[in-house]
Amino acid sequence: MVREFSYKLLESDLQKTANGVAGQILKQCLHLKGHEFCHAKYIKNGITKTHADGSVEEIYVSDRLVPGDILTVKLVDPADSLAGDKVPAVEGPVDILYEDEDLTIINKPAGIVVHPCHGHYTDTAANYLMWYYKSKGLEVVCRSIGRLDRETSGALLFAKNKASAGRLSIYRDEGNGGHKYLALAEGHFEERQATINKAIAPVPGIKLKRQTVEDGEGQYAITHYKVLGEAVIDGIEVSFVEVSIETGRTHQIRVHMESIGHPLIGDTLYGNPEHALGMTRALLHAYEIKTIQPFTGEDIILNAPLPEDFMSLLSKGNLWRSDIL
């Protein structure tokens, strides 16, 4: 996929661009990094200058522009990346919440894995998204920025090119943006709002299962929660909870909630099967996502509608709050 950027040089830009050097304009005015535009040098018309009279010429990063000239650069994923990261396109459900030239945000259903892995090569959110791109005639490498557990539904971010993937990953790794979750947990919370700070590690001998451990014995993990409401549904005490996390450990919310005596309703791995209320998955939904447009810096904040299974119990317990979504 090719992403094109243009910039018209101003008189006021000359000092910060070493008197109009193309490479400096790319860095100082378009805020691109060297590794992002380095491949443009090897494609036809990858970097061009448009003069005031409308004529266009191909240039090098060391060439100069004068005020009024327009610099254009084409960002393209390198061929080896396109080949190595290719995800098979398979027709399947895709619920698009937002899309632009650089990213896509979908509402992932529960029960679907994010990206191909052992046992799931053609039935993942990435496979279905690649089919969506293919149907639009787009040549895109599918890169998820962050993950959701298979059982978890909600907003999920994908980058559409290598440059945006790098910027979005840095934004996330620096502790910006992220998700807010909604969950239905078992029991009455004595603390209506609190932070769980417990390290997490694998359970020996049990594949994929995690547990809380003493500090220094696993990966540190921090979860914040706030109780939004309570109800008794079919004799089971249930709490409606908003959750956010500072770390992204495997099964973090599910493990932390179980560790304080409030497993998620329907959780087949950490919950109480006798209290599942007919649910076959942990009722956890990434209802809000915050990120940025990777090149303009504009904030993007979106909500993902709740799925039917979650809404059915909220309605049954009269727990739904319209001010949340």
Region of 35 on the Ramachandran plot (φ > 0 left; ψ -120 to 50 alpha; else beta): alpha
Contact between 94 and 179 (Cβ < 8 Å): no
Beta-carbon contacts of 58 under 8 Å, excluding residues fewer than 6 positions away, are 44, 45, 46, 47, 48
Helix (H, G, I), strand (E, B) or coil at 172: helix
Burial of 322 (0-12, 13-18, 19+ CB in 10 A): exposed
Residue closest to 115 by CA, chosen among 78, 146, 81: 146
Catalytic residues: 149
Burial of 298 (0-12, 13-18, 19+ CB in 10 A): exposed
Give the integer Cα–Cα distance in Å for 171 and 124: 25
Give the integer Cα–Cα distance in Å for 96 and 322: 22
Give the integer Cα–Cα distance in Å for 162 and 174: 18
Contact between 111 and 123 (Cβ < 8 Å): no
Tell me the two tokens of residue 212.
């809380």
